[in-house]
Chain A
């Protein structure tokens, strides 16, 4: 279980996060939702130990994050970052292999090679393996980084059999993972994430598309100006009122019997300008 307890984060007296708590159980996909600047990325960076919170604590299986060695942590959680500023012309294969770095010393073992091949296949980039990463499109690069974090967390027995129990709880932290992906790969990515949750992985994803949240998330955390508005099941968190409160946008929520999840559409009412709100 991954727990963020009462996280407060201040920089130069500006409060980016104010007493936010989050629980991710193994097998859950938790979406973090909110307007730009609501503190979503700060929360994710705190969970990944990139930032140390001013107050509060993050625990994985009851053990505080700062008690993990960096290598230990790298085997337990992988991060798909929003920006991937790669310098130097690494090949796709080499970059995905970096996901295996926490697992081997010296040269990659045969299982590392197999896992990398699998990750390339699963994300649909096997045919790009020999290309250099900067020559790819934005969406293709995003899939390369997805393949890298798959390679980082998966073990060989998980590839060999679907029912193989994972040895320890593992967490995937995704910061706007669907950015730059086409319609097909947006869903493909979240399918991969939900398959992993079925194996017992926990997933935290910052998402902007509320319909993707409705479709894939088990829980949603709605943030506004650094504070948690609500945390719970998507259908109960994402209501007309809460969405108006968090995004200042009027929406209809349509329940169609032939769809698995409700559909959120924007009603084209006049939206007050930001200056009028405050």
Chain B
């Protein structure tokens, strides 16, 4: 093999072999497959529930809405589908997508496949703020069932996410640079603080408030409606659409901060962008659906197992698989104990925790 080495730095263009182009094919296949799968899962799960709607009817209703009349539609089915199911499925898709892609991005930022958006305080900051509002009963939150109350609560959760993340980020900055290991440790400390604040609030809370708190801690897509979707969708879509544009610098970042710098990556700008987009996405996701764990951790890991580490594939594929898994989890959550509903965080936790342990045992945690 060594004798085959060319001994000059030139190769005549005619002798140049066709570019191997290894990296692209796999990623396109995977993302294409996931898109098809997502559409199938959405159409399938939108028909399942207390009122069962067969797939042909689902398609008929959807096409009717788009202006193509292809069949007779039952009004009851139509109402259930458009008023209840569709916004919930769409919210699940967006929340799952944003959790998956933010998880992948945060893992890239921390250069650790076991990192998770919850790790740097985004989720706990959001939920602690929501819980504070519920228990302290500020005037605006008194009627939580009203729409304005829900919005105000969501806004508080989002503000909490931004505050904690900024706090972690500033504390972890030294001489204008973010030390990633410090950031992780500060994140852990802040998480503990948020947890005890939430414990204190639970201690002070009455029966009804406790139920509301558990909703925030375990997550649910039950609050979905077109109004909620209207407010949340843009904020959930922004990270999903913008993060894949960061895939090149994030790949270089896997070589370490200094080497990424040598390759011309503006490292502090990259870190800032990832943090802003992840806070926006996960903060709003927690605001509308509570804390849904393990999607951000497990999904990107699974994708890397299939496609390799290139963020050009990993980022969009994590969004797609996150959307698929959350849609399916919500399907389980709303049907398994019907007519009641299980918090969705229980389902994702039950799938996620064993997967996480499996990753640890197999040593897939890299340096961790």
Report which A residues bind B (CB closer than 8 A): 45, 48-50, 70-75, 78-79, 81, 83-91, 93-95, 97-99, 101-102, 107, 110, 113-114, 116-118, 121-122, 124, 127, 129-130, 132, 152, 154, 158-162, 184, 188, 191-192, 195-196, 199
The 8 Å CB contact of A117, one of B5, B17, B259, is: B17
A90-B309, A118-B16, A124-B1 known; A84 vs B255 contact (CB < 8 Å): yes
Q: Does B42 contact A (CB under 8 A)?
A: no
Judged by a CB distance under 8 angstroms, whether B354 is at the interface is: no
Residue of B nearest to A104 (CB): B248
Q: Is B255's CB under 8 angstroms from A79's CB?
A: no
Contacting A at CB under 8 A, from B1-51, are: 1-2, 4-13, 16-17, 19-24
Known: A98-B263, A124-B2, A159-B10. Is A88-B254 also a contact (CB below 8 A)? yes
Q: Which 9 A-B pairs have the closest CB atoms?
A: A74-B264, A113-B19, A88-B309, A102-B264, A71-B264, A79-B262, A162-B10, A93-B22, A87-B111
- Beta-carbon contact of A102 and B304 below 8 Å: no
| A110 CB → nearest B CB, Å | 6
Interface centre among A83, A86, A188 (most CB of B within 10 A): A86
A102: which B residues are within 8 A, CB to CB?
263-264
Q: Assuming the A-B contacts A87-B112, A88-B304, A117-B17, are A94 and B23 also in contact, with contact meaning beta carbons closer than 8 angstroms in the complex?
A: yes
Residue among A45, A93, A122, A129 making CB contact with B9, cutoff 8 Å: A122
A97 contacts B23, CB within 8 Å?
yes
Q: Is B139 part of the binding interface, using a Cβ–Cβ cutoff of 8 Å?
A: no
CB <8 Å contact, B259 and A90: no
Q: Can you sample 23 A-B contacts with CB below 8 Å?
A: A74-B262, A79-B262, A81-B262, A87-B111, A87-B112, A87-B366, A88-B108, A89-B309, A90-B310, A91-B23, A98-B255, A101-B252, A107-B24, A110-B19, A117-B16, A117-B19, A121-B11, A124-B5, A130-B22, A159-B11, A160-B13, A162-B10, A195-B8
Within 8 A of A (CB), among B260-279: 261-266
Given contacts A90-B254, A124-B5, 4 further A-B pairs with CB under 8 A are A70-B266, A88-B113, A88-B254, A117-B20
Docked Cα-Cα span, A192 to B17, in Å, equals: 21
Residues of B within 8 A of A127 (CB): 1
Does B308 belong to the interface (CB within 8 Å)? yes
Q: How far is the CA of A117 from the CA of B6 in the complex (A)?
A: 13
Complex contact B111–A74 (CB within 8 A): no
A89 contacts B308, CB within 8 Å? yes
Give the distance in Å from the alpha carbon of A116 to the alpha carbon of B248 in the complex. Answer: 16
For the complex, is B367 an interface residue (Cβ under 8 Å from A)? yes
Across the two chains, which residue of chain A brings its CB closest to B24? Answer: A107
Chain B, range 89-120, C-beta contacts under 8 Å to A:
108, 111-113
- With A50-B258, A70-B264, A78-B262 already in contact, the answer to whether A132 and B308 are too (CB < 8 A) is yes
Cβ of A90 and Cβ of B9 under 8 Å apart?
no
Contact of A161 among B10, B259, B367 (CB under 8 A): B10
A90→B16 contact, CB < 8 A:
no
Is there an interface contact between B251 and A90, defined as CB atoms closer than 8 Å? yes
For B259, the chain A residues whose CB sits under 8 A away are 79, 81, 84
What is the CA–CA distance of A15 and B113 in the complex, to the nearest angstrom? 38
Contacting residue for A89 out of B4, B8, B20, B304, CB 8 A = B304
In the bound complex, CA of A150 to CA of B268 (Å): 26
User: A152 CA to B263 CA in the complex, in Å?
Assistant: 8
Report the Cα distance A84→B256, complex, angstroms.
8
Taken together as a complex, chains A and B put the C-alpha atoms of A53 and B310 apart, in Å, by: 35
List the B side residues contacting A195 at CB < 8 Å: 8-9
> For the complex, what is the distance from the CA of A151 to the CA of B91, rounded to whole Å?
44
B22-A129 in contact (CB<8A) = yes
Q: Could you say which residues of chain A place their CB within 8 Å of the CB of B367?
A: 87
Provide the bound-state CA to CA distance between A107 and B313, in Å.
Answer: 12
Assess the B9–A159 pair: CB atoms within 8 A: yes
Across-interface contacts of B5 in A (CB, < 8 A) = 121-122, 124, 188
* Contact assessment for B248 and A101 in the assembled complex, using a CB-CB cutoff below 8 Å: yes
Residue of B7, B17, B21, B255 with highest tally of chain A CB at under 10 A = B255
Residues of A within 8 A of B108 (CB): 88
Contacts of B255 in A (CB 8 A): 84-86, 95, 98
Given A87-B113, A94-B310, residue A158 in contact with residue B9 (CB < 8 A): yes
Cα distance, A49 to B15, chains bound together (Å)? 38
Among B9, B261, B265, find the residue whose CB has the most chain A CB atoms closer than 10 A.
B9
Which residues of the other chain, A, contact B256 by a CB distance below 8 angstroms? 81, 83-85
CA distance A127 to B254 in the complex (A): 23
Contacts of B1 in A (CB 8 A): 124, 127
In angstroms, Cα B332 to Cα A250, docked, is 77
**Residues from chain A with Cβ under 8 Å of B258 in the complex:** 45, 50, 81
Q: Which residues of A contact B4 (CB under 8 A)?
A: 124
Bound complex: CA of A79 vs CA of B264, how far in Å? 11
User: B241: shortest Cβ distance to chain A, in Å?
Assistant: 15
Considering the chains assembled together, what is the distance between the CA atoms of A195 and B6 in angstroms?
12
| CB–CB A101/B263 < 8 A | yes
- Specify which chain B residues have a CB less than 8 angstroms from the CB of A86 in the assembled complex: 254-255
Q: CA A173 – CA B282 in complex, angstroms?
A: 41
Contact with A along B303-324 (1 / 0, CB 8 A): 0100011100000000000000
A73, B9: Cβ atoms closer than 8 Å = no
Assess A184 versus B2: contact at CB under 8 Å? Given A87-B111, A89-B309, A160-B10: yes
